[in-house]
Structures are given as structure tokens and as C-alpha cells.
Amino acid sequence: MIQNFTKLAFTDSVKKVQEQNGSRESYSRMENSGDQYVLTSRETPLIESRDSFYMATVGENGWPYVQYRGGPKGFLKVIDSTTLGYADYRGNMQYISVGNINSTGKASLFLIDYTTQQRLKIWVESEVLSVGENPELLKALEVPGYGAQIERLIIFKIQAFDWNCRQHITPRYTKNEIKEGLANLDPEILKSCCPDEIA
């Protein structure tokens, strides 16, 4: 059942800690604030502009595993308002995330934009699909011009999501973001401070 993230995240032990620390009453109101699982114009641009995200899965032994997933900007695709997907490229061939998804199907995604200090948590039901058996989906998920070998397709059905607060996010910038910022500097200033950037 698709639902408010609090129904997935606020277990009895979590509620007990909230009670001990004085936040239970306010979070109790949040639990009744309605379901939140359909992406809006706020979530979609953040998702489509990422060049990486973190994915947590759990194996049948109960141990969690967190994996960094990276690719060209926009490689994580919004298929529709409740479905995400990406083409999974060949890596170190440990297949821990894939095995965990095949076992439990549950995953959490953590997306962060360091420049704007935004972070989004998404709870999903996951599925691993064959490239050869899903040509239309492959076409929708592949990134033209990116040379990495696609081994499989990963689909995420959104169950819930929540925005984190911006507190404690240290702003960071990619090399391309820094270059774009430098391009706006006066050429004389740029020449004096960063001669390598004006070759």
C-alpha cells in the first residue's frame, strides 16, 4: 500500500525515542497529514538534475547496504509521477544491491543537491528487469552518448518520500559548476586569479 512516509519510517522504537526527546506530539500530527507519494513540480526537477544518488537495500540476512550510483546528469529518470528508473551500468560485479532487490524488493533512495542544500528521501519497491526483454524501457532509460555498458534496468515504484531540512549540508560544487561560475567573472579578474581556466 502506498502511504505517508511516517507509516514506513516511524516504527514503535522510533516513536519511543521521539517520545523520550519531546518530538512525538508534533510528529503524531504529521502522521495524519495525508499520503505523499506522487511526485510534483518540486521533486521532479531535483531528481532529473542529479548525476548521482545513494541507494540503500536490505539483504535476506537483515543487514542494510548503501551504494553510490552515478552517471551523466539526468540518468535517474522520472517515468511517471510514481515511478523512477535507471539503466544500471557494469561496475565491480559484486551485485549486492541487485541481489538485495531480488530478495526483498525494498529500497530507499537519498538524493542530495549540495549547491542548493536540498535533500530528498524516497522509499521504493524495486524491480530488476532484463535489457533484452524490455527494449522500449531501455530506450527510455539509456543516456545517448554515454559509453558505459548497460547490464540491466532498475525500476522504482514510489511508496513515499520526504524532504529533509537543509541544516548541516555543506555546499559543494562540481568542476562544471565552478567553470560556469568562473565564466561570469570579468575576463581581467579571471586572468589574474585563474589563468588555467581561460586557455
Per-residue model confidence as pLDDT tens digits over 123-139: 999 999 999 999 999 99
Give the tens place of pLDDT for each residue, 80-100: 999 999 999 998 889 999 999
Residues 146 and 191 placed together within one structural domain of the fold:
no
| Assigned domain for 161 exists | yes
Q: In which domain, by residue range, is 97 found? A: 36-167
**Structural domain total, the chain:** 2
| Assigned domain for 147 exists | yes
Q: pLDDT tens digits for the chain (199 residues)?
A: 456 788 888 989 999 999 999 999 888 888 877 777 899 999 999 999 999 999 999 999 999 999 999 999 999 999 999 999 999 999 888 999 999 999 999 999 999 999 999 999 999 999 999 999 999 999 999 999 998 999 999 999 999 999 988 888 898 988 888 888 887 776 766 666 666 654 4
Residues 66 and 160 placed together within one structural domain of the fold:
yes
First to last CA, the chain: 56
Spatial strand order in the sheet of 83-89? 64-70, 52-58, 106-113, 118-129, 150-163, 83-89, 77-80
Where residue 22 falls (left for φ over 0; alpha for ψ -120 to 50; beta otherwise) is left
| Assigned domain for 17 exists | no
| Assigned domain for 28 exists | no
Provide the CATH number for the domain around residue 99.
Answer: 2.30.110.10
Nearest to 181 by CA among 168, 171, 169, 166: 171
Residues 90 and 52 placed together within one structural domain of the fold:
yes
| Assigned domain for 81 exists | yes
